[in-house]
Amino acid sequence: MARPLPTFKEHALREDAFVEGHALCPGCMEAVTFHEVGRATDNGKKTVLTLGTFCGEVSTLMYPNLISWGRGPQSPELFGKSLGVMHNVFESSPTIAEAVRDVATVLEGVGAWKAPSPNVVALSGDGGALAIGLRSLLHTIQRRARIAIFVQMNEVFANTGFQFSPTALPFADSSTAPGGLPEDPIDHVGLAIAAGAAFVAQGSPAFAPFFAEVAEEAINTSNGTAVVFVPSPCIAGWKFEEGLTAELGKLASQTGLFPCFRKRAGEPGEVKHVPEKGKRPPVEQYLVKQRRFEHLARLVDGEIRVTPGREGDLAKLQSYADRNVERLKKWAAF
Amino acid sequence: MTIDAQFLRQRLESGASVDVRGDGKAGGGLVLVMQSFGAALATHPELDVQDWPLFSSARKGANVRAYLRLARGEVLTACQITSPTVAVLMNEAAGEEVDFAEGTHEALYVVNTPASPEEAAQKYRLGGRVVTVSADQLGQKYLGRPLGNVGVLAALVHATGFVSPDAGLESLLHVMKKRRIPQRLVDQNAELFRAALTESRVGDFPADPSTDHRRPAAHPKTDVPAGAQSALRTSRKNRTSGYGRPGVRVEFHDETNRCNGCSLCVVACPEGIIEFTPDPRGALVTGAKFDDFCKVCRECIASCPLDLFHEVETPMRREGVLESA
Ligand SMILES: Cc1ncc(C[n+]2csc(CCOP(=O)(O)OP(=O)(O)O)c2C)c(N)n1
Ligand code: SF4
Ligand code: SF4
Ligand code: SF4
């Protein structure tokens, strides 16, 4: 008997709900994520997506021209292929998703909805979810809303001009925090777990098998909120060359800055794709590929050159990476 | 009629406004050009300047357009410029997707191209004065990167003659400092600016029916034009391959059917345009919708373990330009 395909290959063969023609930057990781969400939700259930305002919204829903969502014309029997998209202000995607779920539950309760219970998926930027929208995100999680949220972590408010976001790594340059801030970013994974999420994960689509499993698990979580943080290299805001999106996605995990992580409430979780301390690539390897860290270190003739006087700041970033891995291990055991 | 600095000055003196419109690609430098030009003009005691870019949510490689109006007294009109007095083409790749001369018949055109004014006039069907500057090449020479913004600014300052080149340079330096650009780069840009003043080339060409880029008047009730932003984003082709870097494209070659169905490129492509046949091994790749949608992001190249995708050089597609709008 043929062996089953790994999840990501099986997803790759499904019908996508995010289609070409969108206006996201070349190599934008948000786009890669949306394709995976599009494929993973082709599972026989109707899908409702809710989007706040962020790059992924304004560049994919541009009335009257480019609407990049949908699985094309389908006959009514294929209700499970259908897709609803609701978009609203910035911080609203978890709240609107929660409302969609409530309506679906009522319709199911009175017998008006006979089809399988829909996939309800919220998409948001990290600014939308973790800066201005933090309170709505946490309350949605705390109410155990049965939705999945994918948060695109590009560490800036990209859509409005690369302003500082509280998820930014120390010393990452942004338009409103030139040269970055020395403080550690907020512990987004910890916040979601502490608020009571049923499933919390962090993962880059660059680790295709891991990410597909996480997406599948998030979309099928039925006992509360599933939150997936997706580190999203942003070519325009981070200023890197073409062809590095996936590589940066991988390095973000391997250096310990954004390790792959997954945890189901009440069960031990796992921290993945980050080698043990000592075997980890140093953070410089990640930083020198992005001009948002140019003031700390840059590549000169293939060699890493640390800016004189910034060695201490670099050590601080390295220390954050190492502490971050240890903290995630603690959350995994929580 | 020669569309030179004197013509523009007389136009202002007659009470009319001079309307400047620029077309380019997001990330291509147009915004810096217009900001610095506006800042330089604003130092002029008698001129009122209004400038605003039309790019609110433009992503890297998307078409952007910027407007600048100037007049004696106050500029009171506030809407997009549909028939510019001065039209700037910042990136030729944008010229493939939109008609940068739209709404003109005889005007001052500033084009960032290694081509001569004659060649540019022919390629874009231009009547009036055509100024060309190989600003990308200058950028390559002075900055090590093909950045055309400062070269185009110099050509624009020079060709319009509203302010002296020195005043133009000064406001450029001011804008660069405000943007926290390191001093080393600021100095290199100042050198580039001076070089571009002498290297821009000028040609005057008669206006005739072939140089007419004006549109027939829209019927106010039945013709609802696309919004300015939508028209720009979708361009003539309504395709997104124009977001890619100019002069290169990606190809897929697998004559001996080596693709093993690992599916990595399928899930890595941000555009979702990889074409395949389903197979027990996974997705067997047959190609991709490169022509219409590939943004040359190189993620497929980076992901394929068998090196089946390649970036290749391609001449600029001229046919898109010559086709009338
Ligand atoms: C209530 C509200 N406040 C502010 C805005 C303006 N706004 C639109 S997008 C955005 C930033 C989005 O940043 P993020 O969520 O990080 O997503 P990204 O653009 O980085 O993908 C802001 C501030 C808005 N649309 N609605
Ligand atoms: S600005 Fe960044 S997040 Fe926004 S589309 Fe571009 S790469 Fe993606
Ligand atoms: S370069 Fe490759 S991955 Fe990028 S858009 Fe083109 S086909 Fe897709
Ligand atoms: S990455 Fe290469 S080998 Fe793998 S499916 Fe794509 S074309 Fe085939």
DSSP for B175-217 reads HHHHTT--HHHHHHHHHHHHHHHHH-EEEEE---GGG--PPPP
What is the spatial distance between Cα B310 and Cα B164, in angstroms, rounded to a whole number?
Answer: 47
pLDDT at B215: 79
Nearest CA to ligand 2 atom 5: A24
B146-159: per-residue pLDDT in tens? 899 999 999 999 99
Q: What is the DSSP letter of B218?
A: P
Does one domain contain both B183 and B252?
Answer: no
pLDDT value at B323 more than 50:
no
Is the pLDDT at A250 greater than 80? The verdict is yes
Q: Which ligand is nearest to the CA of A164?
A: 1
- Same-domain status, B204 and B67: yes
Ligand 4 pocket at CB < 6 A: B 259-265, 283, 285, 303-304, 306, 308
Q: Do B136 and B248 share a domain, yes or no?
A: no
Residues 248-307 of B with CB under 8 A from A: 261, 263-264, 266-273, 276, 278, 280, 282-283, 289, 292-293, 295-299, 301-303
Judgement on whether residues B97 and B141 belong to the same structural domain of the protein: yes
CB contact under 8 A, A9 and B261: yes
- Tell me the two tokens of residue B76: 């009171």
CB contact under 8 A, A242 and B240: no
Residue found by looking up tokens 């943004």 in the block: B295
Q: Which residue on chain B is closest to A38 by alpha carbon?
A: B272
Q: Are residues B149 and B190 in the same domain?
A: yes
pLDDT at residue number B52: 77
Rg (chain B; Cα; Å): 22
Indicate yes or no: CB of B230 within 8 angstroms of CB of A64. Answer: yes
Beta-strand relationship, A226-231 and A148-153: parallel
- Enumerate the residues of chain A whose CB falls inside 8 A of the CB of residue B243: 23, 25-26
- B103 and B184 in a single domain? The answer is yes
Of B61, B230, B273, the CB nearest to A62: B230
Among A12, A28, A242, the residue with its CB nearest the CB of B263 is A12
pLDDT at A209 over 80: yes
The CA-based dihedral angle spanning residues B251, B252, B254, B260, taken in that order and rounded to the nearest 10 degrees: 160
Query: Could you report the per-residue pLDDT of B132-148, keeping only the tens digit for each?
Result: 999 999 999 999 888 99
Q: Are residues B143 and B198 in the same domain?
A: yes
Residue B319 lies in a domain: no
pLDDT band at residue B57 under the 50/70/90 scheme: low
User: Is residue B192 within 8 Å of B146, Cβ to Cβ?
Assistant: no
Q: Domain check: are B118 and B244 in the same one?
A: no
Is B225 a domain residue?
Answer: no
Residue indicated by tokens 């590009």: A154
> Is the pLDDT confidence value at B173 over 60?
yes
With contact defined as beta carbons under 8 Å apart, do A171 and A164 qualify? no
Q: Which residues in chain A have their CB less than 8 angstroms from residue B245's CB? A: 242
Does residue B234 belong to the interface with chain A, where contact is any CB pair within 8 Å?
yes
The answer to whether residue B216 is domain-embedded is no
Angle A285-A290-A295 from CA coordinates, rounded to 5°? 90
Give the number of domains in chain B: 2
The pLDDT tens digits of the residues spanning A265-317 come to 999 999 999 999 999 999 999 999 999 999 999 999 999 999 999 999 999 99
The rounded Å distance from CA B311 to ligand 4 centre is: 16
Q: How many CB atoms lie within 10 A of CB A132?
A: 17
As a whole number of angstroms, the distance between CA B107 and CA B129 comes to: 6
State the residue range of the domain holding B285.
Answer: 240-313
What is the distance between the alpha carbons of residues A177 and A165, in angstroms, rounded to a whole number? 9
Residues of chain B with pLDDT > 70: what percent? Answer: 89
Helix and strand counts by DSSP (H, E) for chain A: 11, 14
Ligand number nearest to the C-alpha of A22: 2
What are B230's two structure tokens?
A: 């939508």
DSSP summary character for residue A79? G
Length of chain A: 334
Q: Give the CB-side neighbour count of residue B17, counting CA atoms within 13 A.
A: 21
In a domain, B150, yes or no: yes
In a domain, B47, yes or no: yes
Domain boundary among B196, B211, B226: B211
- What are B182-192's pLDDT values in tens digits? 888 999 999 99
Query: Alpha carbon A209 to chain centroid distance?
Result: 15
Q: Do A22 and B303 make contact, defined as CB atoms within 8 angstroms?
A: no
Q: Which of B259, B297, B300, B301 to mutate to test the interface with A (most CBs of A within 10 A)?
A: B297
Between CA A106 and CA B307 the distance in angstroms is: 52
User: Could you give the CA distance from residue B299 to residue B289 in angstroms, rounded to a whole number?
Assistant: 15
Which CATH number does the domain housing residue B276 bear?
Answer: 3.30.70.20
Out of B211, B232, B261, a domain closes at B211
3-state secondary structure B65-125: EEEEEEEECCCCCCCCCCCCCEEEECCHHHHCCCCCCCCCCCEEEEEECCCCHHHHHHHHC
- The conformation of residue B241, written as its DSSP 8-state character, comes to G
pLDDT digit string (tens) for B233-290?
555 556 788 888 888 999 999 999 999 999 999 999 999 999 999 999 999 999 999 9
Chain B residues closer than 8 Å to A244 by CB = 302
Q: What's the gap in Å between the CA of B292 and the closest CA on chain A?
A: 9
Cβ within 8 Å, pair B244-A244: no
B232 lies in a domain?
no
Q: Averaged over B82-87, what is the pLDDT?
A: 94
User: Percent of chain A at pLDDT above 90?
Assistant: 89
CB–CB of B59 and A55 under 8 A? Answer: yes
Average pLDDT value over all residues in chain B: 89
**Mean pLDDT score, A194-207:** 98
Give nearest CA residue, ligand 4 atom 8: B259
On the question of pLDDT at B321 being above 90, the answer is: no
Instruction: Check whether residue B272 and residue B175 sit in a common domain.
Output: no
User: Are B184 and B98 part of one and the same domain?
Assistant: yes
Partner A contacted by B94 (CB < 8 A): no
Secondary element (H or E) of residue A208: helix A208-219
| pLDDT value of position B53 | 63
- Residues of chain A in contact with residue B27, where contact means CB-CB under 8 angstroms, are 236
Q: Name the residue with higher pLDDT: A56 or B246.
A: A56
Q: Within this chain, do residues B192 and B257 fall inside the same structural domain, yes or no?
A: no
Instruction: Tell me how many residue pairs between chain A and chain B have CB atoms under 8 A apart.
Output: 133
Kindly state the tokens that stand for A272.
């993945």
Closest-CA distance, B103 to chain A, in angstroms, reads 23
Question: Please, are residues B193 and B169 in contact by the beta-carbon 8 Å criterion?
Answer: yes
Q: Which residues of A touch B282 (CB under 8 A)?
A: 5, 9, 12-13
Q: Which CATH number is B50's domain given?
A: 3.40.920.10
Over residues B14-24, mean pLDDT = 94
pTM above 0.80, yes or no: yes
For residue B228 the two structure tokens come to: 């300015």
The model's confidence at residue A199, banded by pLDDT at 50, 70 and 90, is: very high
Are the beta carbons of A163 and A144 closer than 8 angstroms? no
Distance A241 CA to ligand 2 centre (A): 13
Tokens 């430098």 belong to which residue?
B29
Please give the full DSSP string across B272-293, using - where no structure is assigned.
Answer: --EEEEEETTEEEEEEE-HHHH
The residues pairing with B284 across neighbouring beta strands, listed in sequence order, are: B277
Number of other residues whose CB lies within 10 A of the CB of residue A208: 26
Shared domain for B130 and B250, answered yes or no, is: no
Distance from the Cα of residue B231 to its chain's centroid = 15
| Full set of structural domains in chain A with CATH | 8-332 (3.40.50.970)
Residue B295 CB less than 6 A away from ligand 3: yes
Q: How far is the CA of B297 from the centre of ligand 3 (A)?
A: 5
| The one-letter amino acid at B262 | C
pLDDT of residue A261: 98
